[in-house]
Structure 1
Amino acid sequence: MAHHPTFVSCTSLSFSWPDGTEVLDDFRLTVGPGRTGLVGLNGSGKSTLLRLLSGELTPSSGTVKVTGELGHLPQNLTLDTSRRVDEILGIDARRAALHAIEAGDPAEEHFTTLADDWDVEERARATLDRLGLGGIGLDRTVGEVSGGETVLLRLAALLLARPDVLLLDEPTNNLDRRARARLYEAVESWPGVLVVVSHDRELLERVDQIADLHDGSVTWYGGPWSAYESALAAEQEAAERMVRVAEADVRRQKRELGDAHAKLARRRRFAQKSYENKVVPKVVANTRRSEAQVSAGKHRTLHAERLSEARERLDSAVEAVRDDDEIRVELPRTSVPAGREVLFLRDLELRYGARVAGPFELRGPERVALVGRNGAGKTTLLRTIAGELEPLSGEREAWVPSRFLPQRLDLLADSLSVVENVARLAPGATANVIRARLARFLFRGARADQEVGTLSGGERFRATLAALLLAEPAPQLLMLDEPTNNLDMASVRKLTAALDAYEGALIVASHDVPFLESLGITRWLLIDGELRPTTAAEVRGTA
């Protein structure tokens, strides 16, 4: 029997959101065996493309073809918290059949369901153990595991299913360093077709090739992320050099066109003077003037065409240079005076076991990094401070207006536009004021009217951040939970720029140590059962 190569491809693929926002048009892509990193700016269509390839979305036109079974780990993973672990792994029916047979029930349907998969539980536990989830029982519910463990649980289900094609969308979101290391191992050992969308440099160093989605088409680069960065830098340097050459050519063509105009004017004046001074007969002067005008006119037309061509070359050269807009925003209303009490906690017993022993104070515009392993209680602590969860015991008091940005980015209404969502949080601001402020967050014109449900992960994050920072009253305590999830490298720089402008107190929970270090953190706190001070150096080994 002939062996058919495994691949996933799309031909003449087009897709637009219901509001008319176009994402892809006549798009083509074929990915074969090996590990492919799909990169591109937020909003370029990476996650949408994976959803189209997986069949979750239906294209407006074009076809998608997949040879073999396909598995998909989406970016915003939401699992029913009441479901058991074995259900998520897809082995609940086989487990039930196995247990029934072991209990002495000889019904035929049990053997049919089990299909000789007698070691189903052992394989499941081995897979969980491989991903660091060995302590999670198959009968536990999803609600009992952390966000990072949920991602690993879904990955474990995919590894057990052994699909031929695996699509991963930001799989390291919410994962601590140990969990990321396990995911890296799973990626490196994947035998089939693997396409991963990620902003994690370490993960992208483990791929065989990079597919760069830019302006609706893909450019391929051999090797991992570092090779891609080097190649892209060389391309951009060459593109910028071509812009300089094209600009010089445009200036030269403008000068030559100006010279052509001046030459035509001189010939006209010379012919007129010759006629007025009766140097030549009138008929001769008119002939010379006519000939001069025709000659100069052709000369001028030639230079005008050359100038037009030079401008076209300049436009093409400029298009080849990637322009990365930056958020530029001033937020003086968020300012907190040095020494002002912002937050007070005392003997706080949190749900799921973590605690804050004794008194804890946050004063002035401090910048606190909250670190710890998956499931240690970082999100629980932030939600408790934000008032979303009640502590089991202890005191909690925030003395300034505060806002919390959760991992799931579920603060905005999908059916409303970016402008309408911001207006809900700032009811006293006029539409013109809101639009002017949103433009600083790179939502200009029609982009501000786009429905939130059609935004990419990075765009949605930027819209949520804008809504929080532009809210009334202005937040003087801002809490962020894994804010670099779903963000490409350029968007992380934009986030850093926005937070540079923030003048209030900041608490950021993250596993992304380089990002935390870029924020000017004044205090590092580790939560592992209890909250205690730590250092950046210690975090690099434990975060």
Structure 2
Amino acid sequence: MASISLSRISWAAPDGHSVLTSVDLNFGQERTGLVGRNGVGKSTVLKLIAGDLQPLAGSVRVNGTLGLLKQTVRPGERETVADLFGVAGALALLRRAEAGAAGAEELADADWTLADRITAALARVGLHIGPDTRLAELSGGQRTRASLAAAVFAAPDFLLLDEPTNNLDRSGRELVIALLAGWRSGAIVVSHDRELLDRMDAIVELTSLGAARHGGNWTCYHERKATELDAAQQGLAHAEKQAAEVRRKAQLAAERKDRRDAAGSRKAAQGDMPRILLGARKSNAEASRGSGARLADRQRAEAEVALASARSRIEILQDLSVALPPTGLPANRTVLKLDTVTAGHDPDHPVIRDLSFTMEGPERVAIVGPNGSGKTTLVTLIVGGIAPIRGTVSVAVDFAVLDQRVGILDPGASILDNFRRLNPDATDNACRAALARFLFRADAALQQVGTLSGGQMLRAGLSCTLGGPRPPALLILDEPTNHLDIDSIEALEAGLGSYDGAILLVSHDETFMANIGIGRRLDLAPPDGQRI
């Protein structure tokens, strides 16, 4: 029976920061969702299982074959789909064989069905391309689909999927959900996609306290976790009350003892008590004081142990707070206008044709469409990254943009230095306060951006974009939830709910769009040919 076992695993980042400490995990032939806050070590667990990382302590045992879908695919200029499948050498052999340049021993290893099987695997994920296609020519969503096809190609015993729905359009998300619904081998899925997690057989939550397994899907886990957390919080409140009561009683006893001692001292000072009786009383008082102190110390120690035990059952979680000052954007103010715009990186093959579109006041508009329809191109056009081939683009208010790769941040600088660069008018106290609202407190603000996890980097980008003294009147967000954990997504939803400016959003997350009040959609590839 295929299985994966991690025994007392510990791992630390290159800077020495401990990520996993003595974690035990076991996976069988079921679909398991691996959840937890950003930076807690979810992707690290997958890399340890895959052998891409080695633990500092503990052991990893894998009984079976693995198919791995990594969180990001950053291809080299000449890297092809065949490289992604790991079959470039096998395909090169077939070409030599077809050219009559292969030896007899090589021909014995030739797999003449390989190219057709790869093409078929790609077609199953909606890609009609061949193994020689360069990965750099594909969109992010198309590369994710290709990676998924490569992961399942050899029918592994376990799928390791790291954020498999990131960068995918609606049809791509449905494809991943359908694939896992029919998967009969093991799967470990790191995801914040609540719809996908509802298709799991079990949920493993990774926290700073370790790992806990919950049978059932995300909804079952979420309901059970809320009940368990409520009980743990009640236990903590009781322990805190008991500890406070012990401290209060000890203080009262000490005060009473001090009053008695003071009265005895006054009596002795009057000189009307025999010396032998005075000595006996002093000895008794000292013995009583010592006994009482020991009892009080023991009671305090027991109460503190009970309190620490109660606290250990609760991970101390700090909520992400996104509180934004008002922008004062009036309802009739034109924010953005595109007039018969044609645009694209290749003038001979424009992605956007004759698009006219206007935003007024604090509108909330989502740019939607399948992968490759030009959503990111449109954002690049609006922010001035490319010029239109024809037509005009006018942005009439100040704006901030946060793209999928958080390109506004300098990876070689600290979070604090990036914030100062992007918000030059903010005081040092304002910088620190803004970063603290996004959970970058004290030394955490000094972390180098290039060392952050994907979710931490996006959170840093959000802090630098939204945390300044005056938020922009227009926010342009390109897949802002791709790398955030679920708690942070919910906090971002709450923050954007109170934002009074305009929002232009690229997203495939229907739950997120509904929760932030998207009122209009700009569809770049609608069935009827109408864009709005």
Do they fold alike, i.e. is TM over 0.5?
yes
Q: Percent identity?
A: 39
2:20 paired residue number: 24
Deviations 1:270-293 (A, max 9, x none): 645765788864422442353144
Q: Report the Cα offset of residue 89 of structure 1.
A: 3.4
1:158 to 2:151 alignment: yes
Secondary structure of 2:111 counterpart: coil
Residue identity matched to 1:509: V
Residue from 329, 340, 349 that aligns with 2:342 = 349
Separation of aligned partners in 1, 2:335 and 2:486: 32
1:305 paired residue number: 298
Q: Report the Cα offset of residue 472 of structure 1.
A: 9.5
Residue identity matched to 1:532: R
Q: Report the Cα offset of residue 72 of structure 1.
A: 2.3
Residue from 379, 387, 395 that aligns with 2:392 = 395
Matches within 5 A, 1:119-518: 119-133=113-127, 135-215=128-208, 217-268=210-261, 271=264, 281-332=274-325, 334-351=327-344, 354-355=351-352, 357=354, 359-470=356-467, 475-500=472-497, 502-518=499-515
Deviations 1:210-258 (A, max 9, x none): 2211115212222222232233222212211111211221232133213
- How has the CA–CA distance of structure 1 residues 81 and 224 changed in structure 2, closer, same or farther, with 3 Å as cutoff? farther
Secondary structure of 1:388 counterpart: coil
Separation of aligned partners in 1, 2:353 and 2:520: 16
Deviations 1:401-436 (A, max 9, x none): 333222223432333211122233234545444223
TM-score, length-scaled by structure 1? 0.86
| Residues 362 and 502 in structure 2, CA contact (< 8 A), matched pair in contact too | yes
1:532 to 2:525 alignment: no
1:34 to 2:34 alignment: no
| Residues 430 and 469 in structure 2, CA contact (< 8 A), matched pair in contact too | no
- How has the CA–CA distance of structure 1 residues 322 and 490 changed in structure 2, closer, same or farther, with 3 Å as cutoff? same
Secondary structure of 1:349 counterpart: strand
Q: Report the Cα offset of residue 466 of structure 1.
A: 1.5
Separation of aligned partners in 1, 2:120 and 2:85: 12
Gaps of 5+ in 1: 534-543
Q: Report the Cα offset of residue 513 of structure 1.
A: 1.2
Q: Which moved more, 1:324-333 or 1:178-187?
A: 324-333
Residue identity matched to 2:149: A
Secondary structure of 2:317 counterpart: coil
Separation of aligned partners in 1, 2:104 and 2:498: 63
| Residues 334 and 476 in structure 1, CA contact (< 8 A), matched pair in contact too | yes
1:539 paired residue number: none
Gaps of 5+ in 2: none
Count of aligned residue pairs for this structure pair: 526
Q: Report the Cα offset of residue 398 of structure 1.
A: 1.2
- How has the CA–CA distance of structure 1 residues 514 and 405 changed in structure 2, closer, same or farther, with 3 Å as cutoff? same
Separation of aligned partners in 1, 2:255 and 2:406: 63
Separation of aligned partners in 1, 2:519 and 2:240: 47
Secondary structure of 2:335 counterpart: strand
- How has the CA–CA distance of structure 1 residues 281 and 517 changed in structure 2, closer, same or farther, with 3 Å as cutoff? same
TM-score, length-scaled by structure 2? 0.88
1:14 paired residue number: 10
| Residues 478 and 505 in structure 1, CA contact (< 8 A), matched pair in contact too | yes
Q: Report the Cα offset of residue 387 of structure 1.
A: 1.9
Q: Report the Cα offset of residue 446 of structure 1.
A: 0.9
1:79 paired residue number: 75
- How has the CA–CA distance of structure 1 residues 70 and 389 changed in structure 2, closer, same or farther, with 3 Å as cutoff? farther
| Residues 267 and 292 in structure 1, CA contact (< 8 A), matched pair in contact too | no
Deviations 1:36-87 (A, max 9, x none): 2211111111112322332333444554443444332221222346544444
Q: Which moved more, 1:515-524 or 1:48-57?
A: 48-57
Residue identity matched to 1:120: L
Separation of aligned partners in 2, 1:111 and 1:434: 67
| Residues 39 and 198 in structure 1, CA contact (< 8 A), matched pair in contact too | yes
Separation of aligned partners in 2, 1:129 and 1:77: 19
| Residues 324 and 495 in structure 2, CA contact (< 8 A), matched pair in contact too | no
Residue identity matched to 2:84: I
1:55 paired residue number: 51
Deviations 1:463-486 (A, max 9, x none): 011222356995332211111112
Q: Which moved more, 1:442-451 or 1:188-197?
A: 188-197
Q: Report the Cα offset of residue 157 of structure 1.
A: 1.1
Q: Report the Cα offset of residue 179 of structure 1.
A: 1.7
RMSD: 3.1
Q: Report the Cα offset of residue 344 of structure 1.
A: 1.0
